Amino acid sequence: MTALAQRSWAQGGGPVQRAWRWFTSHLVMLFAILVLVYMFIPIAVVVLMSFNTHETKLVYQFDGFTMYNWLHPCEPQGMCEAVRFSVEIGLLATLGATILGTLMAFALVRHRFAGRSAANLVIFLPMASPEIVMGSSLLALFIAAGVGGQLGFSTILIAHIMFCLSFVVVTVKARLTGLDSRLEQAAMDLYANEWQTFWRVTFPLVFPGILAAALLSFSLSFDDFIITNLNAGTSVTFPMFVWGAAQRDIPPQINVIGTAMFVIALVLVVGGEMNSRRRAKAMS
Amino acid sequence: MAAIMESGVGPETPPPPPPDQPKSRNRFSGYLLILPGAIWLLVFFVVPLYSLVATSLYDPTGSVIDGYTMTWHFDNYVSALQDFWQPLLRSLVYSGIATALCLAIGYPLAYAIAFKAGRWKNLMLVLVIAPFFTSFLIRTLSWKLILSDNGVIVSTLQWLHILGADGRLLNTPVAVITGLTYNFLPFMVLPLYASLEKIDHRLIEAAGDLYASPIRGFAKVTFPLSLPGVVAGTLLTFIPAAGDYINAKLLGSPNERMVGNVIQNLFTDANDYPAAGALSVILMLLIVVMVMTYIRRAGTEELV
């Protein structure tokens, strides 16, 4: 078939041709949807396994449906303590990283000073280093400093603030550079002083970025395993509990926590998105 | 990546670039703002790298209890390479394959979101990051179930005679690479999307007007313009995958152990800090060298 004939066939109006045209023009989209489905298969497994009766121990398989795990989420010994520990670390790390990172973002976007490029490099590097290297180097530092025997809450917190910090800076910086500075000039023109301009105009405009950075920090902190495991001593975070359970027998309650995390995060993100959409509509 | 997520899930049309940011001329306040965070990163990121290099040169005969002495023991590197070149090589190969797979399935996804999704764009972006909302370890554990010996995938492959009757996926390199590909896919898709999104559609239309076929237009216009995203995505996938040991441990057997597993064991179980330090430094150096050559090559290709 010549190219011309092929073209005229493809442009014809018959149902087969139309179906073929639809298929080729939507091919990328079909593939994309398949990839998204693939990304959700493990999530579906997590949800399914949270309802597992867990009759066969030591083998990870679905035995039957029960609500028991959801009604008794804290049954596996030490799991809820680990979740609690991770939440505490996560909140404190988020607080620390968000404050330090937001200040850094403001300095980088709004101030001129020597050493900016060095600062940018130091902020970028932790995001480009393998976790195992960051974790082992921190451990090397703690041992050299003689606190190798006191690894625990504070060393985990130090590590988490360290690796969340860069992500906060990048997120807040993106929001701040996208900010229309004419809004601040307008406030100044209307006799607001610097302080008022900052708290009434700049901060509310940057706040969504700070909030996004805080959410990102919390999820990074809550989910971290590699760096934490090296610097935790005898403390057990939730990912460390999962790791320990994976070597022995995996209680279905782990999947209850996994499902709950997924749902909570999804609600927060979708809620935030709807909220910003409503605001955008109200503004226009 | 955070910036990419932020810009991606934000409003559909970005506001026009605002005029120059007002820069405060007060240097003092600039330092005051940046110092607390910068000091944190210096003390807990830069100084530790120094301690790691120092640890890697300690006398290996020392122990945690007796303490280590600094003897500039460069032999630690030689013996680390001799003992662990296999896991090291395996890490690079596995994460290289996983990165290539991520690019192959991530590019069409990012392309569809950027050019075909229309009003579903934000929804699709949320769907890309949503699997991240649950724990990394729990996600990896569900692959253990999906790939298990009596699971659907293994029995289908056996039925198709791709796998032998006693063939399995769990505890094979295939399982480890599957896990790595799955876990790091969003790191590939988001930067790709960010750079595809920025492409001026008129350039692609111009290629069509000049009689370029859609495939040629893609090869000569769209793909070259998306190269920054390809480079960023490749790095963001390859680097964490090369250091990961969770997939190798949960989905593989000791035959699939990667350099991360070795470093972790040397630190926590064997308490051989000098060897662990040396291996960490080797991994870091390898990654830096590979990234530099890669960026240089990708950069020149972009110019041609």
Instruction: Identify which of A49, A264, A225, A76 has the alpha carbon closest to the alpha carbon of residue B143.
Output: A49
CB-nearest to B134 from A46, A127, A161 is A46
B138, B181, B251, B295: best to mutate for the A interface, most A CBs within 10 A = B138
The complex scores an ipTM of 0.84
Report yes or no: B15 at the A interface, CB cutoff 8 Å.
yes
State the maximum Cα–Cα separation within chain A, in Å, rounded to a whole number. Answer: 79
Residues of B in contact with A253 (CB under 8 A): none
Cβ contact A97:A164 at 8 Å = yes
At residue B9, does pLDDT exceed 60? no
Q: Helices (DSSP H) in chain A: which residue ranges?
A: 3-11, 15-25, 27-49, 68-71, 79-110, 116-128, 131-144, 153-177, 181-189, 194-197, 203-223, 226-231, 238-247, 253-283
CB A130 within 8 Å of CB B49: no
Contact list in A for residue B55 (CB cut-off 8 A) is 140, 143-144
> By the 8 A CB rule, do A8 and B100 touch?
no
CA–CA gap between residue B152 and residue B159 (Å, rounded)? 10
Q: What is the pLDDT of residue B304?
A: 30
Question: Which sign does the torsion angle of CA A78, A81, A87, A92 carry?
Answer: negative
**In 10 A of CB A38, how many CB atoms?**
15
C-alpha to C-alpha distance for B241 and B86, rounded to whole angstroms:
16
B150 bridge partner residues: none
Backbone conformation region of residue A152, classed left if phi is above 0, alpha if psi is from -120 to 50, else beta: left
Q: To the nearest whole angstrom, how far is the Cα of B137 from the nearest Cα of chain A?
A: 7
Per residue in B93-134, pLDDT (tens digit) is 999 999 999 999 999 999 999 998 888 888 898 889 888 888
Tens of pLDDT, residue by residue over B216-252, are 888 888 899 898 899 989 999 999 999 999 999 999 9
Asked if the Cβ–Cβ distance from B45 to A101 is below 8 Å, we say no
Cα separation of A181 and A187, whole Å?
Answer: 10
CB-CB under 8 Å, B131 with A40: yes
Query: Which pLDDT value is given to residue B258?
Result: 93
pLDDT band at B1 (very low <50, low <70, confident <90, very high): very low
Write down the pLDDT at residue B10.
39
Round to whole Å and give the CA distance between A42 and A50: 12
CB B131 within 8 A of CB A39: yes
Distance from chain centroid for Cα A12: 49
Residue % of chain B over a pLDDT of 70: 87
* Minimum-distance CB partner of B51 among A144, A238, A259: A144
| Per-residue pLDDT at B7 | 40
Could you list the pLDDT tens digit for every one of the 284 residues in chain A? 445 444 555 555 677 878 877 777 788 899 999 999 999 999 999 999 899 888 776 667 787 888 888 988 888 888 999 999 999 999 999 999 999 999 999 999 888 888 888 888 889 889 888 999 999 999 999 988 888 788 999 999 999 999 999 999 999 998 898 888 888 888 888 988 888 888 988 899 999 899 989 998 999 999 999 999 999 988 999 999 999 998 888 888 999 999 999 999 888 888 877 887 787 777 66
Q: Which chain A residues have a beta carbon less than 8 Å from that of B7? A: 174, 178
Cα dihedral across residues A242, A244, A245, A247: positive or negative: positive
What are the Cα distances from residue B179, in Å, to A58, B74, B241?
21, 35, 10
Ordered DSSP codes for B3-65: HHHHHHHS-SSPPPPPS-PPPB--HHHHHHHHHHHHHHHIIIIIHHHHHHHHHHTB-TT-BTT
Mind listing the pLDDT tens digit for each residue in B28-84? 788 889 899 999 999 999 999 999 998 888 877 766 666 677 777 788 898 888 889
Residues in chain A, total: 284
CA A64 to chain CA mean position, Å: 32
Kindly calculate the radius of gyration of chain A based on its CA atoms and give it in whole angstroms.
26
For residue A129, the distance in angstroms to the closest alpha carbon of chain B comes to: 7
Instruction: Based on DSSP, count helices (H) and strands (E) in chain B, helices before strands.
Output: 15, 0
Structure tokens at B92: 């690079």
pLDDT of residue B66: 61
Q: Angle, nearest 10°, between helix axes A79-110 and A203-223?
A: 140
Inter-chain contact B30–A107, Cβ cutoff 8 Å? yes
Strand partners, B63: B67
- Give the confidence band of B159 by pLDDT, cuts at 50, 70, 90: confident
Name the band, by pLDDT with cuts 50, 70 and 90, for residue B11: very low
Report how far residue B230's alpha carbon sits from residue B227's, in angstroms, rounded to the nearest whole number. Answer: 5
Question: How far A228 CA lies from chain B's nearest CA (Å)?
Answer: 11
CA-based torsion, B263, B264, B266, B271: positive or negative: positive
A274 CB-near residues (< 8 Å, 6+ apart): none
CA A151 to CA A143: how far, in whole Å?
Answer: 9
CB distance A45–B29 less than 8 Å? no
Q: With helix as H, strand as E and coil as C, how does B123-140 read?
A: HHHHHHHHHHHCCHHHHH
Give kind and range of the element (H or E) at residue B217. helix B214-217
Other beta carbons within 10 Å of A202: 19
Structure tokens at A37: 């489905």
As a whole number, the mean pLDDT across chain B is 84
DSSP conformational letter for B116: I
What is the least distance, in Å, from the CA of B276 to any CA of chain A?
Answer: 8
Residue listed under structure tokens 């600062």: A119
8 Å CB contact of B41 and A212 = no
Of A261, A256, A49, A45, the closest CA to residue B134 belongs to: A261
Substitution target in B91, B113, B134, B265 with the highest count of A β-carbons within 10 Å is: B134
Chain A residue closest to B130 (CA)? A266
DSSP state of A56: S
C-alpha to C-alpha distance for A173 and B2, rounded to whole angstroms: 10
Q: Please, which residues 66-85 of chain A have a Cβ atom closer than 8 Å to chain B?
A: none
Q: How far apart are CA B186 and CA B102, in angstroms?
A: 9
The distance of A97 to chain B (nearest Cα, Å) reads 8
Q: Is B158 on the interface with A (CB under 8 A)?
A: no
Neighbouring C-beta atoms of residue A59, cutoff 10 Å: 14
Q: What is the pLDDT of residue B269?
A: 85
Tell me what pLDDT residue A83 has.
94
According to the model, what pLDDT value does residue A159 have?
96
Work out the end-to-end distance of chain B between its first and last CA atoms, rounded to an integer number of angstroms: 28
* Nearest chain A residue (CA) to B284: A133
Interface with chain B: mutation pick from A136, A139, A227, A240, highest number of B CBs within 10 Å: A136
Chain B residues touching residue A261 (CB < 8 angstroms): 133-135
Round to whole Å and give the CA distance between B44 and B79: 28
| Residue located via tokens 């209890």 | B65
User: Is B196:B226 a contact under the CB 8 Å cutoff?
Assistant: yes
Nearest C-alpha neighbor of A134 from the set B136, B232, B52: B52
User: Which pLDDT score, from 0 to 100, does residue A48 have?
Assistant: 92
